[in-house]
Amino acid sequence: MTTPDRPPVASVNPHVVRDWADACVAGLDELRGEINDLNVFPIPDSDTGSNMLFTMRAAADAARTTPDDANLAVVTRAMADGAVSSARGNSGIILSQVLVGIADAADVLIADPDSTFNQLYSSGLRLAARGAMRAVSNPREGTVLTVIAVAAQTAAEHVGDSPADLARIVADETAEALERTPEQMPELASAGVVDAGARGFLVLTDALVGVLTGAMQRRRRYRGILTGGGEPGHSADEACASSDMDYEVMFLLDGAAGEHVATLRTRLDEIGDAVVIVGDSSGDAGERFSVHVHTNEPGLAVEAGIARGVLSDIRISCFALDEIKKQTVNDGPPPRHKRAVVAVVHGEGAAELFAEAGASVVRADDGLTPDMLADAIRATDSAHVVVMANGAMSSPDLVSVTAELRSPQRSVVSLPTLSMTQCLAALAVHDPSESPDADAYAMAEAAAGARWGSLAIADTKMMTLAGTCEVGDILGLIGSDVLVVANQQSEAATALVDLMLATGGEMVTALAGAQIADDTVAVIDEHLRRSYPGVELLVYQTGQQGDLIQVGVE
């Protein structure tokens, strides 16, 4: 029998862990709203998704601060400490324990040349399950704690599989355990939902599958389940909270001895519930603890911490005030317009083209800042705004801008377009008479279906998928991959078009930049007429300074 390929822990590329952290952030960001909507235990404050995202983002940021040559133990420890120090809410603290478990496993296994990636994952989940269970004063079945334990048990049973198969079976069993949470906790069954924290943990296990296999797991949308003969488990007015506490208190505690932490837990249990205390497990400067409690006596909770060590990053939130803020309606005048599309462009010709197509244009010839984009969105004075940054702004900044500008009177949706040709394809199907969701979906579908490429001048010598290029060579890119290297623009252009039409196409759109040679567009036209009769060519003089030309195929 052939033994599955199981790479030793020492040979596991730390970049895989960094990629996993980034994939977790992306997944939690995408599903934040869904997870928030599932949040009914211990308090229905609709913040589990947001808290897990904030915590995981801190871990991913910490991983990126480690040196490129840092080993696996250093990277995983940085993630764990970053998560513990920045954990938000009960769910964020428990998430931090998953990362602490993996870091602890890496510390132990990295010195053993015979240990494997599978042992790292299995041991990490086992330690995470134990640490998370110890962190919670009154653990309940049917929460994320139960689901982490199932994942750990599954990993232990399948440690002999290949890494990809191990990741898949753990993710699938996690999903099965998530489905069972309403059967295990009455509060979830009453509300008709699965556990929010467990749904967030499933994002983490699915992200690892995606990193190891390149194929993301597809899960149903967890909108809730039906109980009691097909009737919703609770009415809109029915309370589903299991806590009578009004405040959430969190702080970081330094300089506390182990026995002091035990007495702190006892004291917090006396004045509140949902008590979670975890340490960052680092040993050089003494252990730092992240403390969480729901209470009606926030002052006493803080005093209990002060009596046992040095406090920092104290956060107190009132559930009632948070709910009032969520329900507060903007008293300003309603938007004057129903719908708008904001398009970020480069070049004078592009600005005219997209304005004629009905977009509110933002010029990014000299760069684009979040404030510039935010001002453009506000200037539309519209109730529903679709934003296409076309690669001019990083995804985190784009998400931050659109999230900040959403309000009860304005929805903002960003489409992940990376080129002006994709944006043009989306604008072609824009229909203001459709519902906002249907219109945005159609635009996103059109943009995703538009293959795009570009020509650029190499400014450095480098190795590409098409071979080594020299400074001044003409590069043909499809997406961000260099697939053509040539000496002349016309040669690179025809080769790029051939690659893009290899899988078919009915129309080619060319956005000519300021530095494109006069005969290059004519060569493309002649090449299409000769080699691809019936394929339509549309050419626009957009005048961008970066790409010589952008090409779209539909």
- Give the amino acid at 382: S
Instruction: Say how many residues make up the chain.
Output: 554
Query: Of 159, 188, 213, at which residue does a domain stop?
Result: 213
CA distance 548 to 491: 13
CB 126 within 8 A of CB 152: yes
DSSP designation for 311: E
Q: What is the distance of C-alpha 131 from the center of its chain?
A: 25
| Planar angle of CA 429, 444, 394, nearest 5 degrees | 130
Once rounded to an integer, what is the mean pLDDT over residues 420-425?
A: 93
Same domain, 458 and 417: no
Contact 345, 364 (CB under 8 A): yes
Kindly state whether residues 197 and 157 are assigned to the same domain: yes
- Closest by CA to 121, choosing from 91, 165, 84, is 165
In a domain, 228, yes or no: no
pLDDT higher than threshold 90 for residue 243: no
The answer to the question of residue 3 being in a domain is: no
Helix (H) or strand (E) holding 469: strand 467-469
- CATH number, domain of 201, equals 1.25.40.340
The answer on 503 and 471 residing in a single domain is: yes
Dihedral (CA of 285, 287, 292, 297) sign: negative
> Residues 39-86: pLDDT tens digits?
776 666 677 888 899 999 999 999 999 998 899 999 999 999 999 888
Same domain, 130 and 204: yes
For the cut 70, the answer to whether the pLDDT of residue 34 exceeds it is: yes
- CA distances from residue 63 to 33, 60, 79, 371 in whole angstroms, order as listed: 25, 5, 5, 28
5: pLDDT strictly greater than 80? no
> Which tokens go with 455?
């020509």
User: If pLDDT is split at 50, 70 and 90, which confidence band does 280 have?
Assistant: low
Per DSSP, 412 falls in state: E
pLDDT in tens, 326-360: 554 444 577 888 899 999 999 999 999 999 988 99
Let me know: does 116 contact 170? Beta carbons within 8 Å: no
Name the least confident of 126-135, 212-221, 435-444, 519-528.
212-221
Report the percent of the chain where pLDDT is more than 90: 49
Q: Would you state the pLDDT for residue 8?
A: 55
Q: Which pLDDT score, from 0 to 100, does residue 471 have?
A: 94
489 and 428 together in one domain: no
CA–CA separation, 235 and 177 (whole Å): 26
pLDDT-based confidence at residue 205 (cuts at 50, 70, 90): very high
Whether the Cβ atoms of residue 272 and residue 294 lie closer than 8 Å to each other = yes
Residue 398: what pLDDT?
87
**Rounded Cα distance, 73 and 231, in Å:** 50
Whether 158 maps to a domain, the answer reads: yes
Contact assessment for residue 312 and residue 280, using Cβ atoms and an 8 Å cutoff: no
What mean pLDDT comes out for the span 424-441?
90
Please indicate, yes or no, whether residues 418 and 487 belong to a single structural domain of this protein.
Answer: no
Which amino acid, 288?
Answer: R
Residue predicted with more confidence, 126 or 43: 126
- Residues 360 and 364: their CA atoms lie apart, in Å, by 13
**pLDDT-wise least confident of 113-117, 206-210, 387-391, 426-430:** 113-117
The verdict on 24 and 126 lying in the same domain is yes
Q: Is the dihedral of CA 104, 110, 115, 118 positive or negative?
A: positive
396: preceding bond cis by omega (within 30 degrees): no
Residue 15 and residue 156 share a domain: yes
Same domain, 37 and 140: yes
Q: Does the pLDDT at position 235 exceed 50?
A: no
**Residue 254 belongs to domain with CATH number:** 3.30.70.260
CA dist 377 → 340, 341, 355, 409 (Å): 9, 9, 15, 13
Whether the CB-CB separation of 302 and 124 falls below 8 Å is answered with no
Are 56 and 199 in the same domain? yes
For residue 266, is it within any domain? yes
Using CA atoms of 58, 37, 248, 271 in order, give the dihedral in degrees to the nearest 10: -130
Q: End of a domain among 416, 449, 482? A: 449
Residues 471 and 441 in one domain: no
Residue type, 248: E
Q: Are residues 469 and 529 in the same domain?
A: yes
Residue 231 located in a structural domain: no
Q: Could you write out the three-class secondary structure of 153-200? A: HHHHHCCCCCHHHHHHHHHHHHHHHHHHHHHHCHHHHHHCCCCHHHHH
Residue 227 lies in a domain: no
Within a domain: residue 220? no
Q: How far apart are CA 384 and CA 390, in angstroms?
A: 19
CATH number of residue 350's parent domain: 3.40.50.510
Domain end, chosen from 422, 449, 476, is at 449
User: Could you tell me if residue 2 is inside a domain?
Assistant: no
Residues 60 and 22 sit within 8 Å (Cβ to Cβ): yes
Domain that holds residue 134: 9-213
User: In total, how many domains does the chain have?
Assistant: 4
